Amino acid sequence: MSLPTTNSPDTTLDSLGSAAARATLRAHPSRGYVQIEPPVEPMPRLSKELGGAVELFVKRDDLLPLAGGGSKTRKLDYLVQQALDSGADTLVTCGAVQSNHCRLTASAAAREGLGCHLVLEERVAGSYSPEAGGNNYVFALLGAKTQVVPLGGVDAAVAALMEELKAAGATPYYIPGGGSNALGALGYARAAISVVEEARKAGRPFDAVVLCSGSGGTHAGMLTGLRACGDQTKVYGVSVRFDAAKQKSRIEAQYKECAKLFGNEAPEEDVVIIDSQVGPGYSLPTPEMRSAVEAFAKLEGILLDPVYTGKGAAGLLQLVREGAFQPGARVLFLHTGGAPSLFHYQPVPDDAAAARFDRREVIGPGFVAELSGESTTRE
């Protein structure tokens, strides 16, 4: 179903409480990368494996346009438009060595005929290899120029690069890591508005949203869009890098800036962070992440990535197992993409993927399920 773009008139949604929010979006021009909303799909087999008391759904933002899809397309929709409006001929951004954001920025630059420079931060010592596959391979394929810096070296490298490009006669535009500022977060405010509209039309709203909480724009934007529609659905942000206190502070700051664009407040209590899936650190594997990646693949045919959505999904499974949702609850998981990096990290060993799938790792203690069966019983 084709939804209105940010620049199109919208006079049909007043009864859903989202017309005013759409009007705010129209005040900010976009490139129109997102012409058709990705689907919300039920996850019946995963729901059943978890006991069947909670209905799980997934918003397939991994299917968004630009190379390989993913959440950053929504942010770049607004940020690239601003870059072009400012007369820029080069995009500059930063991210980790397998950054999904950098991949999509390079894709947008190629589409628009812009130069692209990526500053890649080696957040885990020794994790970068110029021969690496995954997103690293795609950076070069899309024509982006890259430089690698150690942890903490991004700001100085970006500042020097911007000056170097200007001295060479270029007009660079800097996009923050993850595309996460108030303007970029508008992309997820728009996504939230669409989720609310579709749920209200169907007469079946969601009781909770679970998403990855990284650079912050997705989390802040979802909260902003929901509240702009008068929707108080709880949003659980599963941190992939920082502890709960630090990540909450980061999200609160972005939430306040994005909410201002809608003339709204940003209550601190709206920001809920789950930090139990960070594990030993950013991009480092955990058993829970591996189990979640395997569960989504084998039960729903959906690929996750090990850095973001794998840990986000692990947080979702944890919340269900621990009884965070009432029986009958409808819970939406936001799939923000990242599958191209799966082929670099390969988090599930080949022998495990081929030889066994122990569902007890997915559904947790108290349940037993055989691979060949479809039923789930309590021990």
Report the Cα 167 to chain-centroid distance in Å.
35
99 in active site: yes
In angstroms, the CA 307 to CA 213 distance is 11
Dihedral, CA of residue 95, residue 97, residue 100 and residue 103, to nearest 10: 90
Residue pair 305/100 in contact by the 8 Å Cβ criterion: yes
What is the token pair recorded at 214?
Answer: 């990284």
d(CA 359, CA 265): 43
Q: Catalytic one among 18, 99, 239, 341?
A: 99
Phi-psi domain of 123 (left: phi exceeds 0; alpha: psi -120 through 50; beta: other): alpha
* Tokens encoding 73: 């397309």
Residue 36 has what DSSP assignment?
B
* Best CA proximity match to 192, nearest among 291, 106, 264, 273: 264
Burial code (b: 16+ CB inside 10 Å, e: under 16) for 326-346 equals eeeebbbbbbbbbbbbbebbe
Whole-angstrom CA distances from 269 to 223, 246, 247 are: 11, 15, 13
* Segments in the chain forming alpha helices (H): 19-26, 44-49, 72-85, 100-112, 135-141, 154-167, 182-202, 217-228, 244-260, 287-300, 309-321, 339-345, 350-355, 360-363
* CA dist., res. 118 & res. 151, Å (int): 15
Alpha-carbon gap, residue 226 to 267, rounded angstroms: 13
| Nearest CA among 340, 335, 338 for reference residue 40 | 335
Question: How far, in Å, CA of 244 to CA of 227, rounded?
Answer: 22
> Which residues have a catalytic role annotated?
99
